[in-house]
């Protein structure tokens, strides 16, 4: 796995935000970096900067947006998803397919 070096100013900003109790989502947004990268970098620098472990109950992540289910979706929900190929496929052989099958015999 390739290790990338962070500039010292960026690490200092990460440490300051972490110590201020900012949640990981906001740190990631401030540094324009994915949350998983922030977690990994904190794991790497934790001992060097004496970063305390956080209580998971105190650090809440932002809720992911929920999918909006419309009344149209509710009416058309069933065992086969709307628009599935099985619904729209023509269930008969074309003339070319018939000829190909007859030619094989």
Query: CA torsion sign, 63 to 65 to 71 to 73?
Result: negative
Length of the chain: 105
Q: Which pTM was predicted?
A: 0.55
CB 39 within 8 A of CB 25: no
Alpha helices, DSSP H, located in the chain: 8-19, 24-31, 35-49, 71-76, 85-88, 95-104
For residue 19, give the 3-state DSSP assignment: helix
What pLDDT shows up at residue 1?
46
Reported as a single tens digit per residue, the pLDDT across 74-85 is: 776 666 665 666
């Amino acid at each position: 796995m390739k290790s990338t070096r962070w500039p010292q100013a960026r690490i200092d900003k990460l440490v300051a935000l972490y110590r201020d109790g900012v949640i990981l989502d906001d740190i990631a947004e401030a540094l324009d970096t994915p949350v998983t990268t922030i977690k990994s970098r904190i794991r790497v620098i934790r001992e060097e900067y004496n970063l305390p472990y956080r209580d998971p109950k105190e650090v809440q992540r932002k809720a992911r947006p929920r999918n909006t289910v419309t009344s149209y979706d509710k009416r058309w929900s069933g065992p086969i998803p709307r628009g599935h190929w099985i619904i729209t496929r023509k269930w008969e052989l074309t003339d070319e397919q018939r000829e190909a099958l007859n030619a094989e015999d």
